[in-house]
Amino acid sequence: MKTTALAVLLLGVSGCVFATDNNIEAIDYQVSVTVEDSESKLNFPTFKFHSFGQEVSSQTEECIYSGVLSKHEANAILLEAKMSCDYEDGESSGDMPVFILDKEGGEVSIELGEDEANLWKYSVLIKALN
């Protein structure tokens, strides 16, 4: 996974889902993140954002996912994140694809790769809590 993940992380590809409503100043968000390839699946523990611009991290045994949620235009949110992994034979790190979602959140993912053996998928579920 580390070779594929690092290559994909460095691409800086973005995925977008656009919004339709206003007033997102006082909303907390719960976030779930999954990163998978043909060799493994990382399910990061769910975490919360209590304010825009706050950096929040979640950790598995080998990897740390750090994200920042910010307001994007009048009625959307933007998730920017990094993932770093520490393996027995080295480290890898890089920026994750950027996602733009409706202020209510939603589920979004991006898949990269030419076939099942080289497929890499990054999925995020964001829920507005209030």
pLDDT per residue as tens digits for the range 59-87: 999 999 999 999 998 889 999 999 999 98
Structure confidence by residue, pLDDT tens digits, 5-35: 433 443 444 444 343 344 456 689 999 999 9
Contacts of 88 (CB under 8 A, 6+ apart): none
- pTM score, whole prediction: 0.78
Ramachandran angles phi, psi of 103, nearest 5°: -60, -20
Instruction: Say whether pLDDT at 52 is over 70.
Output: yes
Per-residue confidence (pLDDT) for residue 85, from 0 to 100 = 94
Distance CA 13, CA 95 (A): 9
